[in-house]
A = this chain, B = another copy of it.
Amino acid sequence: MVLEAARPLGSETVPSAEALGRVLTASVVSGRSLPPDDNSAMDGYALRAADLAAGPVELPVVYEVPAGARAPRPLASGEAARILTGAPLPSGADAVVRQEDAERIGERVRIPAGPLSGEFVCRSGENVRRTGEDVAAGDTALEDGCRLGPAQLGMLASLGRTTVAVHARPLVALLSGGDELVEPDGDVSGGRIVSSNSYTLAAACREVGAEARYLGIARDEPADIEHRLRTGLRCDALVTSAGVSVGDHDHVRGVLQKLGCRLLCFGVRMKPGYPFVFGRFEEGAGPLLFGLPGNPVSALVTFEQFVRPALLAMAGHTTLHRPRISVTVAETLTKKAGRLHFVRVRLERCGREVRARSTGNQSSGVLRSMTEAQGLLIFPAEATRLAAGEQAEVQLLDESFLAWHGPGF
Protein backbone atom coordinates (compact mmCIF):
# COMPACT_ATOMS: atom_id res chain seq x y z
CA MET A 1 0.00 0.00 0.00
CA VAL A 2 2.81 2.38 0.94
CA LEU A 3 4.94 1.64 -2.12
CA GLU A 4 1.94 1.99 -4.40
CA ALA A 5 1.51 5.51 -3.05
CA ALA A 6 5.20 6.45 -3.05
CA ARG A 7 5.75 7.56 -6.66
CA PRO A 8 9.04 9.04 -7.89
CA LEU A 9 9.05 12.82 -7.45
CA GLY A 10 9.37 15.19 -10.40
CA SER A 11 12.56 16.46 -11.95
CA GLU A 12 14.74 19.32 -10.83
CA THR A 13 17.94 20.57 -12.41
CA VAL A 14 20.88 20.88 -10.06
CA PRO A 15 24.60 21.61 -10.38
CA SER A 16 26.32 18.34 -11.29
CA ALA A 17 28.89 18.86 -8.56
CA GLU A 18 26.05 18.69 -5.99
CA ALA A 19 24.22 15.73 -7.52
CA LEU A 20 26.01 12.89 -5.69
CA GLY A 21 23.54 10.12 -4.87
CA ARG A 22 20.71 11.59 -6.96
CA VAL A 23 18.87 9.65 -9.68
CA LEU A 24 18.61 10.79 -13.33
CA THR A 25 15.15 11.61 -14.69
CA ALA A 26 16.36 11.36 -18.28
CA SER A 27 19.18 9.65 -20.12
CA VAL A 28 22.25 11.76 -20.79
CA VAL A 29 23.11 11.76 -24.49
CA SER A 30 26.62 12.84 -25.30
CA GLY A 31 27.11 15.95 -27.41
CA ARG A 32 30.77 15.12 -27.97
CA SER A 33 33.10 12.19 -28.46
CA LEU A 34 35.38 10.96 -25.72
CA PRO A 35 38.21 11.01 -26.43
CA PRO A 36 37.67 13.87 -28.89
CA ASP A 37 40.51 12.75 -31.20
CA ASP A 38 42.61 9.66 -31.80
CA ASN A 39 45.26 10.22 -29.15
CA SER A 40 48.25 8.63 -27.55
CA ALA A 41 47.82 6.25 -24.63
CA MET A 42 51.51 6.59 -23.75
CA ASP A 43 54.47 8.91 -23.75
CA GLY A 44 56.48 7.90 -26.83
CA TYR A 45 56.79 8.35 -30.57
CA ALA A 46 54.00 8.60 -33.14
CA LEU A 47 54.78 7.00 -36.51
CA ARG A 48 53.41 4.77 -39.24
CA ALA A 49 53.42 1.11 -38.19
CA ALA A 50 54.18 0.13 -41.81
CA ASP A 51 57.57 1.85 -41.49
CA LEU A 52 58.59 -0.82 -38.96
CA ALA A 53 57.64 -3.78 -41.13
CA ALA A 54 61.13 -4.37 -42.48
CA GLY A 55 63.00 -4.44 -39.15
CA PRO A 56 64.75 -1.92 -36.90
CA VAL A 57 64.66 1.68 -38.13
CA GLU A 58 66.00 5.03 -37.15
CA LEU A 59 63.57 7.89 -37.85
CA PRO A 60 63.95 11.67 -37.62
CA VAL A 61 61.88 13.21 -34.82
CA VAL A 62 60.31 16.04 -36.78
CA TYR A 63 58.26 17.71 -34.08
CA GLU A 64 56.71 17.19 -30.64
CA VAL A 65 53.00 16.99 -29.75
CA PRO A 66 52.40 17.82 -26.11
CA ALA A 67 49.08 17.02 -24.45
CA GLY A 68 46.55 19.74 -25.19
CA ALA A 69 48.07 20.77 -28.51
CA ARG A 70 47.79 19.64 -32.11
CA ALA A 71 50.51 18.53 -34.50
CA PRO A 72 51.74 21.41 -36.71
CA ARG A 73 51.43 19.31 -39.90
CA PRO A 74 50.70 15.72 -41.00
CA LEU A 75 53.37 13.13 -40.39
CA ALA A 76 54.94 11.67 -43.52
CA SER A 77 56.17 8.14 -44.06
CA GLY A 78 59.66 7.76 -42.58
CA GLU A 79 59.07 10.37 -39.89
CA ALA A 80 58.43 10.14 -36.14
CA ALA A 81 56.96 12.70 -33.73
CA ARG A 82 57.57 12.90 -30.02
CA ILE A 83 54.13 12.57 -28.38
CA LEU A 84 52.87 12.70 -24.80
CA THR A 85 50.04 10.77 -23.20
CA GLY A 86 46.68 12.20 -24.22
CA ALA A 87 48.05 14.27 -27.11
CA PRO A 88 46.17 14.01 -30.43
CA LEU A 89 47.80 11.68 -32.94
CA PRO A 90 49.21 13.61 -35.94
CA SER A 91 47.32 12.87 -39.11
CA GLY A 92 49.32 10.36 -41.12
CA ALA A 93 50.50 8.48 -38.00
CA ASP A 94 48.66 5.32 -36.93
CA ALA A 95 50.64 4.00 -33.96
CA VAL A 96 52.70 5.05 -30.96
CA VAL A 97 55.87 3.34 -29.77
CA ARG A 98 56.35 3.72 -26.01
CA GLN A 99 59.44 5.68 -25.00
CA GLU A 100 60.61 2.62 -23.01
CA ASP A 101 60.68 0.68 -26.29
CA ALA A 102 62.67 3.28 -28.26
CA GLU A 103 66.11 4.80 -28.06
CA ARG A 104 66.46 8.55 -28.55
CA ILE A 105 69.65 9.63 -30.30
CA GLY A 106 69.73 13.41 -30.63
CA GLU A 107 67.15 14.43 -33.23
CA ARG A 108 66.47 10.83 -34.20
CA VAL A 109 64.86 7.83 -32.58
CA ARG A 110 65.84 4.19 -33.03
CA ILE A 111 63.03 1.65 -32.93
CA PRO A 112 64.12 -1.97 -32.48
CA ALA A 113 62.48 -4.92 -34.20
CA GLY A 114 62.85 -7.00 -31.05
CA PRO A 115 62.34 -6.12 -27.43
CA LEU A 116 64.34 -3.25 -25.98
CA SER A 117 62.36 -3.37 -22.77
CA GLY A 118 59.75 -6.10 -22.48
CA GLU A 119 58.03 -7.59 -25.48
CA PHE A 120 57.92 -5.21 -28.39
CA VAL A 121 55.16 -5.29 -30.95
CA CYS A 122 53.87 -2.35 -32.94
CA ARG A 123 50.81 -2.81 -35.11
CA SER A 124 48.63 -0.13 -36.61
CA GLY A 125 46.57 1.29 -33.73
CA GLU A 126 49.17 0.34 -31.10
CA ASN A 127 48.94 2.62 -28.04
CA VAL A 128 46.32 4.73 -29.80
CA ARG A 129 43.01 5.59 -28.16
CA ARG A 130 40.37 6.02 -30.82
CA THR A 131 37.98 8.96 -31.08
CA GLY A 132 34.77 8.05 -29.30
CA GLU A 133 36.26 4.88 -27.81
CA ASP A 134 34.67 5.80 -24.46
CA VAL A 135 31.58 7.64 -25.71
CA ALA A 136 30.72 8.71 -29.25
CA ALA A 137 28.70 11.88 -29.92
CA GLY A 138 25.05 10.86 -29.88
CA ASP A 139 25.62 7.87 -27.56
CA THR A 140 23.62 7.47 -24.39
CA ALA A 141 26.34 8.00 -21.81
CA LEU A 142 24.15 7.52 -18.73
CA GLU A 143 20.75 5.83 -18.63
CA ASP A 144 17.55 7.30 -17.22
CA GLY A 145 17.18 6.04 -13.64
CA CYS A 146 20.93 5.82 -13.08
CA ARG A 147 22.21 6.75 -9.62
CA LEU A 148 24.93 9.39 -9.77
CA GLY A 149 28.03 8.10 -8.02
CA PRO A 150 31.61 9.34 -8.43
CA ALA A 151 32.15 7.70 -11.86
CA GLN A 152 28.87 9.08 -13.23
CA LEU A 153 29.72 12.59 -11.99
CA GLY A 154 33.10 12.24 -13.71
CA MET A 155 31.29 11.30 -16.92
CA LEU A 156 29.04 14.36 -16.65
CA ALA A 157 32.11 16.55 -16.15
CA SER A 158 33.82 14.99 -19.18
CA LEU A 159 30.75 15.73 -21.28
CA GLY A 160 30.74 19.35 -20.13
CA ARG A 161 27.44 18.96 -18.31
CA THR A 162 27.61 21.28 -15.36
CA THR A 163 23.93 20.79 -14.52
CA VAL A 164 21.84 17.65 -14.52
CA ALA A 165 18.14 16.72 -14.25
CA VAL A 166 17.39 14.45 -11.31
CA HIS A 167 14.44 13.41 -9.18
CA ALA A 168 13.73 15.93 -6.44
CA ARG A 169 14.81 14.99 -2.93
CA PRO A 170 11.87 14.04 -0.73
CA LEU A 171 11.12 16.75 1.79
CA VAL A 172 9.94 15.20 5.04
CA ALA A 173 8.09 17.06 7.79
CA LEU A 174 8.65 15.61 11.27
CA LEU A 175 6.29 16.26 14.14
CA SER A 176 6.47 14.97 17.68
CA GLY A 177 3.49 15.08 19.96
CA GLY A 178 3.04 14.93 23.69
CA ASP A 179 2.89 17.27 26.69
CA GLU A 180 5.63 15.28 28.41
CA LEU A 181 8.19 16.04 25.70
CA VAL A 182 10.97 18.62 25.75
CA GLU A 183 13.85 19.39 23.38
CA PRO A 184 17.27 17.89 24.19
CA ASP A 185 18.37 21.05 26.02
CA GLY A 186 15.10 21.20 27.98
CA ASP A 187 14.27 20.67 31.64
CA VAL A 188 13.58 16.99 32.31
CA SER A 189 12.45 17.32 35.90
CA GLY A 190 8.88 16.42 36.86
CA GLY A 191 8.37 13.46 34.54
CA ARG A 192 9.31 15.19 31.30
CA ILE A 193 11.46 13.39 28.77
CA VAL A 194 13.39 14.43 25.70
CA SER A 195 11.69 14.13 22.35
CA SER A 196 14.41 12.10 20.70
CA ASN A 197 12.37 10.75 17.79
CA SER A 198 12.66 13.82 15.64
CA TYR A 199 16.44 13.67 15.91
CA THR A 200 16.54 9.96 15.20
CA LEU A 201 14.16 10.25 12.26
CA ALA A 202 15.81 13.35 10.80
CA ALA A 203 19.09 11.44 10.68
CA ALA A 204 17.37 8.41 9.15
CA CYS A 205 15.91 10.71 6.47
CA ARG A 206 19.29 12.26 5.72
CA GLU A 207 20.88 8.81 5.42
CA VAL A 208 18.69 8.13 2.39
CA GLY A 209 19.16 11.59 0.89
CA ALA A 210 15.85 13.06 2.02
CA GLU A 211 15.59 16.49 3.60
CA ALA A 212 14.00 16.73 7.03
CA ARG A 213 12.00 19.69 8.28
CA TYR A 214 11.30 19.54 12.01
CA LEU A 215 7.92 20.99 12.99
CA GLY A 216 8.67 20.83 16.71
CA ILE A 217 6.72 19.29 19.56
CA ALA A 218 2.96 19.69 19.37
CA ARG A 219 1.07 20.07 22.65
CA ASP A 220 -1.83 17.68 23.19
CA GLU A 221 -4.41 20.12 21.90
CA PRO A 222 -6.05 20.25 18.48
CA ALA A 223 -5.24 23.89 17.67
CA ASP A 224 -1.49 23.49 18.19
CA ILE A 225 -1.45 20.20 16.32
CA GLU A 226 -3.37 21.66 13.39
CA HIS A 227 -1.18 24.75 13.20
CA ARG A 228 1.96 22.63 12.99
CA LEU A 229 0.56 20.00 10.66
CA ARG A 230 -0.52 22.68 8.18
CA THR A 231 3.12 23.73 7.88
CA GLY A 232 3.92 20.17 6.87
CA LEU A 233 1.26 19.88 4.17
CA ARG A 234 3.57 21.11 1.41
CA CYS A 235 6.13 18.42 2.10
CA ASP A 236 6.30 15.08 0.32
CA ALA A 237 5.92 13.06 3.50
CA LEU A 238 4.60 13.95 6.93
CA VAL A 239 5.93 11.78 9.73
CA THR A 240 4.38 12.09 13.17
CA SER A 241 5.49 10.14 16.16
CA ALA A 242 3.22 9.43 19.12
CA GLY A 243 -0.12 11.16 19.28
CA VAL A 244 -1.81 8.76 16.85
CA SER A 245 -2.64 5.77 19.00
CA VAL A 246 -5.69 5.24 21.20
CA GLY A 247 -4.77 7.41 24.19
CA ASP A 248 -7.15 10.01 25.63
CA HIS A 249 -5.08 12.91 24.34
CA ASP A 250 -4.39 11.68 20.86
CA HIS A 251 -5.84 14.46 18.78
CA VAL A 252 -3.60 14.04 15.76
CA ARG A 253 -5.88 11.59 14.04
CA GLY A 254 -8.87 13.90 14.23
CA VAL A 255 -6.89 16.87 12.96
CA LEU A 256 -5.54 14.85 10.03
CA GLN A 257 -9.02 13.82 9.01
CA LYS A 258 -10.19 17.41 9.28
CA LEU A 259 -7.34 18.43 6.96
CA GLY A 260 -8.49 15.89 4.36
CA CYS A 261 -6.15 13.00 5.04
CA ARG A 262 -7.63 9.56 4.47
CA LEU A 263 -6.23 7.11 6.98
CA LEU A 264 -5.79 3.77 5.26
CA CYS A 265 -4.13 1.61 7.84
CA PHE A 266 -4.39 1.50 11.62
CA GLY A 267 -1.99 -0.94 13.15
CA VAL A 268 0.29 -3.57 11.69
CA ARG A 269 0.73 -7.01 13.20
CA MET A 270 4.32 -6.38 14.20
CA LYS A 271 6.30 -5.73 17.35
CA PRO A 272 7.62 -3.23 18.02
CA GLY A 273 5.49 -0.84 16.02
CA TYR A 274 1.91 -2.09 16.18
CA PRO A 275 0.23 1.35 16.31
CA PHE A 276 1.44 2.43 12.86
CA VAL A 277 -0.89 4.60 10.78
CA PHE A 278 -0.63 5.32 7.07
CA GLY A 279 -2.68 7.86 5.17
CA ARG A 280 -2.92 9.81 1.94
CA PHE A 281 -4.57 12.97 0.76
CA GLU A 282 -6.62 13.06 -2.42
CA GLU A 283 -4.38 12.55 -5.46
CA GLY A 284 -1.41 14.87 -5.19
CA ALA A 285 -3.11 17.21 -2.74
CA GLY A 286 -0.81 16.52 0.15
CA PRO A 287 2.00 14.46 1.60
CA LEU A 288 2.00 10.79 2.44
CA LEU A 289 1.20 10.50 6.14
CA PHE A 290 3.16 8.14 8.34
CA GLY A 291 1.97 8.04 11.94
CA LEU A 292 4.68 6.30 13.91
CA PRO A 293 4.38 5.07 17.49
CA GLY A 294 5.99 7.23 20.15
CA ASN A 295 8.41 4.74 21.64
CA PRO A 296 11.89 5.38 20.23
CA VAL A 297 12.44 1.81 19.08
CA SER A 298 8.95 1.48 17.60
CA ALA A 299 9.40 4.74 15.73
CA LEU A 300 12.72 3.67 14.23
CA VAL A 301 11.58 0.15 13.32
CA THR A 302 8.42 1.39 11.59
CA PHE A 303 10.50 4.04 9.81
CA GLU A 304 12.77 1.26 8.55
CA GLN A 305 9.90 -0.89 7.28
CA PHE A 306 7.62 1.74 5.78
CA VAL A 307 9.11 5.23 5.52
CA ARG A 308 12.63 4.47 4.31
CA PRO A 309 11.56 2.42 1.27
CA ALA A 310 8.97 5.08 0.42
CA LEU A 311 11.56 7.89 0.53
CA LEU A 312 13.95 5.91 -1.65
CA ALA A 313 11.17 5.27 -4.18
CA MET A 314 10.26 8.99 -4.19
CA ALA A 315 13.88 9.86 -4.94
CA GLY A 316 13.77 7.55 -7.97
CA HIS A 317 15.70 4.60 -6.57
CA THR A 318 14.68 1.09 -7.50
CA THR A 319 16.48 -0.82 -4.77
CA LEU A 320 14.45 0.09 -1.73
CA HIS A 321 15.21 -2.47 0.93
CA ARG A 322 18.11 -3.24 3.22
CA PRO A 323 20.52 -6.06 2.44
CA ARG A 324 19.27 -9.24 4.03
CA ILE A 325 21.41 -12.11 5.24
CA SER A 326 20.76 -15.59 6.57
CA VAL A 327 21.93 -16.13 10.12
CA THR A 328 22.06 -18.83 12.74
CA VAL A 329 20.08 -18.03 15.88
CA ALA A 330 22.60 -18.03 18.74
CA GLU A 331 20.11 -18.28 21.62
CA THR A 332 16.56 -19.62 21.53
CA LEU A 333 13.92 -16.92 21.05
CA THR A 334 10.26 -17.34 22.00
CA LYS A 335 7.12 -15.22 21.65
CA LYS A 336 3.35 -15.52 21.33
CA ALA A 337 1.92 -16.15 17.88
CA GLY A 338 0.16 -13.30 16.09
CA ARG A 339 2.69 -10.56 15.46
CA LEU A 340 5.91 -10.50 13.48
CA HIS A 341 8.73 -9.52 15.81
CA PHE A 342 11.74 -7.53 14.70
CA VAL A 343 14.36 -8.72 17.16
CA ARG A 344 17.27 -6.32 17.47
CA VAL A 345 20.42 -8.41 17.14
CA ARG A 346 24.16 -8.25 17.17
CA LEU A 347 25.96 -10.29 14.55
CA GLU A 348 29.13 -12.33 14.75
CA ARG A 349 30.95 -14.22 12.02
CA CYS A 350 31.87 -17.81 12.85
CA GLY A 351 33.58 -19.25 9.80
CA ARG A 352 31.08 -19.11 6.96
CA GLU A 353 28.06 -18.62 9.19
CA VAL A 354 26.80 -15.48 10.89
CA ARG A 355 25.36 -15.83 14.39
CA ALA A 356 22.69 -13.45 15.62
CA ARG A 357 22.14 -12.71 19.29
CA SER A 358 19.50 -10.44 20.85
CA THR A 359 20.77 -7.07 22.09
CA GLY A 360 19.01 -7.77 25.39
CA ASN A 361 15.92 -6.06 26.79
CA GLN A 362 13.60 -5.82 23.77
CA SER A 363 11.17 -3.36 25.37
CA SER A 364 10.20 -0.76 22.80
CA GLY A 365 11.26 1.96 25.23
CA VAL A 366 14.84 0.71 25.38
CA LEU A 367 16.67 2.65 22.70
CA ARG A 368 19.86 0.88 23.65
CA SER A 369 18.45 -2.28 22.06
CA MET A 370 18.63 -0.32 18.82
CA THR A 371 21.93 1.54 19.34
CA GLU A 372 23.65 -1.81 19.80
CA ALA A 373 21.82 -3.56 16.96
CA GLN A 374 23.46 -4.44 13.67
CA GLY A 375 20.28 -5.91 12.27
CA LEU A 376 16.61 -6.74 12.71
CA LEU A 377 15.92 -10.46 12.90
CA ILE A 378 12.60 -11.42 11.34
CA PHE A 379 10.69 -13.66 13.79
CA PRO A 380 7.63 -14.55 11.70
CA ALA A 381 4.14 -13.70 12.92
CA GLU A 382 2.87 -17.24 13.45
CA ALA A 383 6.11 -18.66 14.86
CA THR A 384 6.45 -19.01 18.63
CA ARG A 385 9.98 -20.36 18.88
CA LEU A 386 13.26 -19.97 17.04
CA ALA A 387 15.62 -22.48 18.61
CA ALA A 388 19.36 -21.91 18.95
CA GLY A 389 20.99 -23.25 15.79
CA GLU A 390 17.99 -22.57 13.53
CA GLN A 391 18.28 -20.30 10.51
CA ALA A 392 16.59 -16.91 10.28
CA GLU A 393 16.72 -13.82 8.08
CA VAL A 394 18.16 -10.51 9.24
CA GLN A 395 17.67 -7.07 7.73
CA LEU A 396 21.12 -5.47 7.96
CA LEU A 397 21.09 -2.02 9.56
CA ASP A 398 24.86 -1.74 9.81
CA GLU A 399 26.03 -2.33 6.27
CA SER A 400 29.63 -2.06 7.36
CA PHE A 401 29.13 -5.55 8.78
CA LEU A 402 29.60 -6.70 5.20
CA ALA A 403 32.90 -4.87 4.86
CA TRP A 404 36.07 -6.90 5.03
CA HIS A 405 39.13 -6.58 7.13
CA GLY A 406 41.29 -6.47 4.05
CA PRO A 407 40.99 -5.40 0.44
CA GLY A 408 41.05 -8.96 -0.92
CA PHE A 409 44.44 -9.06 -2.59
Which A residues form the contact surface with B (CB < 8 A)?
Answer: 16-17, 20, 32, 34-37, 39, 41, 43, 66-70, 84-88, 99, 129, 133-135, 141-142, 146-147, 149-162, 178-181, 184-186, 188, 190-197, 199-204, 206-207, 220, 245-249, 294, 296, 300, 305, 309, 317, 319-324, 340, 361, 363, 365-368, 370-371, 373, 378, 380, 393, 395-409
- State the copy count for this chain: 2
Given contacts A134-B365, A158-B193, A249-B84, whether A68 and B181 have CB atoms under 8 Å apart is yes
Evaluate contact between B84 and A248: CB separation under 8 angstroms. Answer: yes
Residues of B contacting A66 in the complex (Cβ-Cβ under 8 angstroms): 179-180, 220, 249
Closest 5 CB pairs of A and B: A68-B180, A154-B200, A67-B180, A323-B402, A319-B403
A191-B36 contact given A207-B20, A247-B84, CB 8 Å threshold: yes
CB distance from A259 to the nearest CB of B (A): 24
- From the candidates B85, B196, B361, B403, name the one contacting A155 in the complex (CB within 8 A): B196
The residue from B99, B157, B184, B309 contacting A16, defined by CB atoms under 8 A apart: B184
With both chains docked as a complex, state the minimum distance between the C-beta of A44 and any C-beta of chain B, in angstroms: 10
User: Contact between A158 and B194 (Cβ–Cβ < 8 Å)?
Assistant: yes
Residue from B41, B158, B200, B404 in contact with A150 in the complex, judged by beta carbons closer than 8 Å: B200
18 A-B pairs with C-beta separation under 8 A: A20-B207, A34-B193, A39-B191, A41-B365, A149-B203, A149-B207, A150-B200, A151-B296, A151-B371, A154-B197, A154-B203, A155-B368, A319-B401, A321-B405, A321-B408, A380-B409, A396-B402, A399-B399
